[in-house]
Structure 1
Amino acid sequence: MGVHSMWEDYPELAKDLSSVIELIDSQIHVRDKTIETIVKNFLHSGGKLLRPAYSLLCSQIGPEQDKERAIAIAAAIECIHMATLIHDDVIDEAETRHGNPTIHSQKGNKYAVYSGDYLFCLTFNLLSKYAQSLSQLEFNVKGMEKILTGELEQLNSQYVEPVSVKDYLSRIAGKTAQLFAVSCYSGAVTSKAAKRATMQAWNLGHYIGMAFQIIDDILDYQSDDQTLGKPVMNDFRQGIYTLPLIYAMKENRQAFIPFIAKKDQLTDNDISAISDLIKQYQGIEKAYDLAGKYTNKALKELEKLPDGEYKNILYDITASLLKRNM
């Protein structure tokens, strides 16, 4: 099965990612064929598979290489990610994802929620079969709990004036960075890497996830339907206030308060004015600077890991995330 074109330069990894998709597809068996079709279509909708890629690459850190187990753990990671995306779209009332209609916009919220829940069940099924120990299973469960807590924190902060950079970073640490950290850590554990190396892999994933979400939030202010697959400043329209805004508000809070007070009643002219203010107060540049710092932290953690070809690929894809436009 084909994978995203970004993996063309890494044929072995592309092959393993195809195996991840094949394994998930083979495990999807739902009595309600509508749900089964929805989940399979979402699986094959062209996601980048970044998190399972990191898990697979980190499964080469330690001395034992078990390809079947590594692929299964990567598949579990991707099931978690897909489930959170489906639920996100329901909460955000998003009509499209990467240019494609979302599940809830086609089939309604009930089918979307059930589809996401099924993917969580599939995650536990894969972990129960392939996790090497109860402690690894518990670690992944705790990781999922923190991811969901991050999602709830974002929901509770909707249309609430942002407070600080620290609060924002705490939220994305759970919402996004946690799954990247779990991905890298789980891969390292699968290879029976030394404890120090598994924690370095955890740190690597955490810093990657932090940089990734910051860049994602920057792109919300810069992109449009064609590049990002959703309206420009969609997060702001939904009352999700992210780092570029927080930095800009530190320079002139009062300039933004009237727009935040309008909540979901913003006009296109309002959006244009907010965008101009964020540019004026260099919110995007400051956010890019912080994303760069997290990327550099990730690369420093990567340097500490045992040598191998996997490190070159990890370096390439991690450095490239800072430059992505979608």
Structure 2
Amino acid sequence: MQVHPMWDSYPELREDLSNVLELINKHIRVRDKNVNAIIKDRIFGGGKLLRPIYSILCSNIGPDKDKDRAIAVAAALETLHMATLIHDDVIDGASTRHGKQTLHTSEGSKFAIYAGDYLFSVCFTILSRHATSLAHLEFNSRSMEKVLSGELDQLNARFQPPTSVKGYLSRISGKTAQLFAVSCYSGAIESKATKKQARNAWNMGHYIGMAFQIMDDILDYQGQEQTVGKPIMADVKQGIYTLPLIYAMQSNPKQLQTLLQKNEDLSSNDMEMILATIKQEKGLEKSRKLAERYTNKALKEMKKLPEGTYKDYLYTITMKLLTRLF
């Protein structure tokens, strides 16, 4: 288990994240040692641990600063995130994650689905032992419903004409922004923050999650595979049409419709034409501007939180996510 090198410049946060991984590791106890090792090998595969760090930082908002409890809540949230990623990879048919084979690719879809289900149970086991209230557990259960609903919406929208920005934003609100919001909110309420402060933390996390997903979708068109962790334009090949393509479709529907009607049969030349059209219609630029707007909304919510050094970390990390310096 190694913490991503992006945290090397933040030794205090790196130590917290190391403790998060260690706690998750202790709670993964499958009887079959081989199965246990396979699951651990995949889930400790180099993720950036953004959701747990936001939860830990937001545990400084309220007056009750309990580091052990903050680590436990962060561990539960990261386990939840790991579970959704495993299921997401099965649905998308993704072959790699963080440069490694996905679990369903190496072990089969049935194995991966059960492994994801197992991690869901680990998440709630950790929460039941460390969360301070049943209301917190219920809140996270409802949040999980929204995350899975977002995944189902994305699955149902595959290969559908990419015309609705509103529909896209609704999907990523459930699929990605919900977990960022829950992470910030959970840290806040576990530190006994006021309702208003917890709501500010929730809003901040939601806006960060929206900006994060939009930036991820931009990178799907212009990033490097070793950076993104999956083949470039993988989403388009899988029929997942994201914001840059939606914006381009609104400006130039005729050419893109002809190409996208091929569905899974898109050639490399077709992909180049799609990318060229997106750039020509400024789909990437428009998407980046929307990500910036969400980031600015997050910063406004951040300013409303109580002062402390944790806010310096929140600001620095959030800005680096937008510029992808991480």
Q: Same fold (TM over 0.5)?
A: yes
Partner Cα distance (1:69, 1:225) in 2: 37
Structure 1 segments unaligned to the other structure (5+ residues): none
Comparing 225-234 with 98-107, which one deviates more in the overlay? 225-234
Q: Matches of residues 136-175 of structure 1 in structure 2 within 5 Å?
A: 136-175=136-175
SS at match of 1:322: helix
Residue in structure 2 matched with residue 229 of structure 1 by the alignment: 229
Partner Cα distance (2:52, 2:90) in 1: 24
Change (3 A) 1:325 1:93: farther
AA partner of residue 291 (structure 1): A
SS at match of 1:61: coil
8 Å Cα contact 1:244/1:284 also seen in 2: yes
CA RMSD, Structure 1 to Structure 2 (Å): 1.1
After superposition, give the CA deviation of every residue in 1:16-67 in whole Å (9 maximum; x if it has no partner).
Answer: 1100000000111012333311221123211110000000000010001111
Partner Cα distance (2:144, 2:35) in 1: 23
SS at match of 1:196: helix
Matched, 1:296 2:304: no
Partner Cα distance (2:252, 2:23) in 1: 51
Identity over aligned residues, as a percent?
Answer: 61
Partner Cα distance (1:48, 1:36) in 2: 22
Residue in structure 1 matched with residue 192 of structure 2 by the alignment: 192
CA drift of 1:325 comes to 6.8
Residue correspondences, number: 326
Q: Matches of residues 1-326 of structure 1 in structure 2 within 5 Å?
A: 2-324=2-324
CA drift of 1:301 comes to 0.5
8 Å Cα contact 2:46/2:98 also seen in 1: no
Change (3 A) 1:213 1:160: same
AA partner of residue 87 (structure 2): H
8 Å Cα contact 1:35/1:111 also seen in 2: no
SS at match of 1:231: coil
8 Å Cα contact 1:3/1:17 also seen in 2: yes
SS at match of 2:160: coil
Change (3 A) 1:177 1:276: same
8 Å Cα contact 1:227/1:325 also seen in 2: no
SS at match of 1:305: coil
**What TM-score does the superposition give when structure 1 sets the normalisation length?**
0.98
SS at match of 2:323: coil
CA drift of 1:252 comes to 1.2
**What TM-score does the superposition give when structure 2 sets the normalisation length?**
0.98
Structure 2 segments unaligned to the other structure (5+ residues): none
CA drift of 1:114 comes to 1.1
After superposition, give the CA deviation of every residue in 1:82-114 in whole Å (9 maximum; x if it has no partner).
Answer: 001111111111111121111111111111111
